[in-house]
C-alpha cells in the first residue's frame, strides 16, 4: 500500500500538472470506486478547475473551484498514471479525468481504494481521526514523547496507527524501527528518552530519504518520470527475509504481528 513518501511523490508531481487545469471529461469504469451515481459525479466535475492538490496522511485531496474536494485513497494496489493515454487500455482504469490540455489522470487498481467527491466540511469530518503528519512543525520531540508515552501497543502497531501519526504503513514502520535500532514488537510506551529521540529523528529521516528516492511504487506517473520506485533497492529490512543485514550480516527475520508483516534484524534491533 502506498504510504506517505509515495503519496507525497504523487502530490509533488501532480501539483504543477493539474493546478489551474479544467476538467473536461470524466470516465468511470467502476461505479463502486466513486460515491455518487456516475452521471451525477460526471456532471458535477466537468468544467471544474483543480485549485491545488493536498496530501493528508496516505490521502490526496484535489481541491476544486466549487469548494468540493476529490478525496483519493489508493488502499492496497491502487496507482496513478498521467499523460496522453494510459500505459494499458483505458478500461483497465476505474476512473479517468481528462483536462483542458487533452491529457488525462488515470486511477488504476481502485478495488479497495476510492475517489470520492465530497464537500470541504465532509473532508474535514472524514479525516478528523488522523493523527499529525510526521512533518508537522507542531510535532516537536516533546509532543512526540507525550503521544508515544500514552500508547500501550507494540511499536510497529503504534507507528502504523493512523490516529497516532498519519502516513506510515507496513514498509516504512519496519524501515524506521531498523534505522532507530529498535525491535518493532517492543511496547511503545517503554522506550527511554534516548530511544524515543532516536525514533523521532528516524521517522523523518527514513520518510525523507524514501520521498527523495521516489518511494517504492512500481508504475511511473508519467513517461518522463524516472524517479518512481527508486526506494525499492534502498529498503534495509522490508521484504528482505533471510537476506543478510547490511549492518551485521545476520539474516533478516520475518514474523507477523497482529496480522501485519514484520521484517527486522534480530541482532541490530534491540528488545529494550
Ligand atoms: Zn543487523
How high is the pLDDT of residue 87?
55
What is the distance in A from the centroid of ligand 1 to the CA of 220? Answer: 32
C-alpha 27/C-alpha 25 separation (Å) is 7
Other beta carbons within 10 angstroms of residue 198's beta carbon come to 17
Q: CB–CB of 108/94 below 8 Å?
A: yes
* Distance (Å) from CA 182 to ligand 1 centroid: 11
CATH fold group of domain 4-127: N-terminal domain of MutM-like DNA repair proteins (3.20.190)
Which pLDDT value is given to residue 255?
96
Query: How confident is the model at residue 111, as a pLDDT?
Result: 86
- Tens digit of pLDDT at every position of the chain (272 positions): 899 999 999 999 999 999 999 999 999 999 999 999 999 999 999 999 999 999 999 999 999 999 999 999 999 989 999 998 655 566 679 999 999 999 999 999 888 999 999 999 999 999 999 999 999 999 999 999 999 999 989 999 999 999 999 999 999 999 999 999 999 999 999 999 999 999 999 999 999 999 999 999 888 999 899 999 999 999 999 999 999 999 999 999 999 998 899 999 999 998 75
CA-to-CA separations, 8 to 1, 190, 203, in angstroms, rounded? 14, 31, 15
Strand partners, 72: 60, 115
Determine the distance from the C-alpha atom of residue 32 to the mean position of all C-alpha atoms in its chain, rounded to a whole number: 21
Query: What's the pLDDT score for residue 258?
Result: 87
- For ligand 1, the distance from its centroid to the CA atom of residue 269, given in whole angstroms, is 7
What's the CA-to-centroid distance between 172 and ligand 1, angstroms? 17
**What does the pLDDT read at residue 218?**
87
pLDDT in tens, 74-105: 999 899 999 986 555 666 799 999 999 999 99
Sequence spans of domains, the chain? 4-127, 141-264
Q: Looking at the domain covering 141-264, what would its CATH class be?
A: mainly alpha
The pLDDT assigned to 13 comes to 96
> Phi/psi class of residue 134: alpha, beta or left (left: φ > 0; alpha: ψ in -120 to 50)?
alpha
CA of 244 to the centre of ligand 1 (A): 8
Question: Which protein residues have a CB closer than 5 Å to ligand 1 (ion)?
Answer: 245, 247-248, 250, 265, 267-268
What residues does 63 pair with on adjacent strands? 52, 69
Active-site annotation, residues: 2-3, 58, 260
In the reported structure, the alpha carbon of residue 178 is separated from the centroid of ligand 1 by a whole-number distance in angstroms of 8
123: part of which helix (H) or strand (E)? helix 120-127
Instruction: Print burial letters for 166-193: b (CB count within 10 Å at least 16), e (below 16).
Output: bbbbbbbbbbbbbbbebbbbbebeebee
Q: What is the pLDDT of residue 86?
A: 52
265 Cα–ligand 1 center, Å: 5
Residue 157: predicted pLDDT = 97
Question: Tell me, what DSSP letter sits at residue 57?
Answer: T
Distance 198 CA to ligand 1 centre (A): 17
Amino acid at each position: 500500500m502506498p504510504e506517505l513518501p509515495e503519496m507525497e511523490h504523487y502530490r509533488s508531481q501532480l501539483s504543477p500538472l493539474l493546478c489551474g487545469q479544467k476538467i473536461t471529461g470524466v470516465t468511470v469504469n467502476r461505479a463502486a470506486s466513486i460515491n455518487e451515481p456516475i452521471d451525477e459525479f460526471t456532471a458535477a466535475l466537468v468544467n471544474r478547475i483543480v485549485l491545488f492538490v493536498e496530501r493528508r496522511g496516505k490521502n490526496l485531496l484535489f481541491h476544486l473551484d466549487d469548494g468540493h474536494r476529490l478525496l483519493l485513497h489508493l488502499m492496497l494496489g491502487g496507482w496513478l498514471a498521467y499523460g496522453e493515454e494510459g500505459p494499458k487500455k483505458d478500461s483497465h482504469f476505474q476512473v479517468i479525468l481528462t483536462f483542458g490540455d487533452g491529457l488525462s489522470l488515470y486511477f488504476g487498481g481502485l478495488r479497495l481504494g476510492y475517489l470520492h467527491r465530497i464537500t470541504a466540511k465532509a473532508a474535514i469530518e472524514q479525516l478528523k481521526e488522523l493523527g499529525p503528519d510526521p512533518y508537522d512543525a507542531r510535532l516537536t520531540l516533546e509532543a512526540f514523547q507525550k503521544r508515544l508515552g500514552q500508547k500501550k501497543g507494540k511499536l510497529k502497531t503504534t507507528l502504523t496507527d493512523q490516529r497516532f501519526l498519519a502516513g506510515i504503513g507496513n514498509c516504512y514502520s519496519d524501515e524506521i524501527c531498523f534505522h532507530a535500532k529498535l525491535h518493532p514488537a517492543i511496547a511503545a510506551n517503554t522506550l527511554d528518552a534516548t530511544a524515543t529521540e532516536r525514533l523521532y529523528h528516524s521517522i523523518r529521516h527514513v520518510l525523507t530519504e524514501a520521498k527523495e528516492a521516489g518511494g517504492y511504487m512500481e508504475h511511473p506517473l508519467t513517461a518522463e518520470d524516472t524517479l518512481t520506485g527508486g526506494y525499492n533497492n534502498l529498503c534495509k529490512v522490508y521484504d528482505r527475509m533471510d537476506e543478510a543485514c547490511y549492518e551485521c550480516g545476520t539474516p533478516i527475520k520475518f514474523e507477523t504481528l497482529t496480522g501485519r508483516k514484520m521484517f527486522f534484524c534480530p541482532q541490530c534491533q534491540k528488545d529494550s
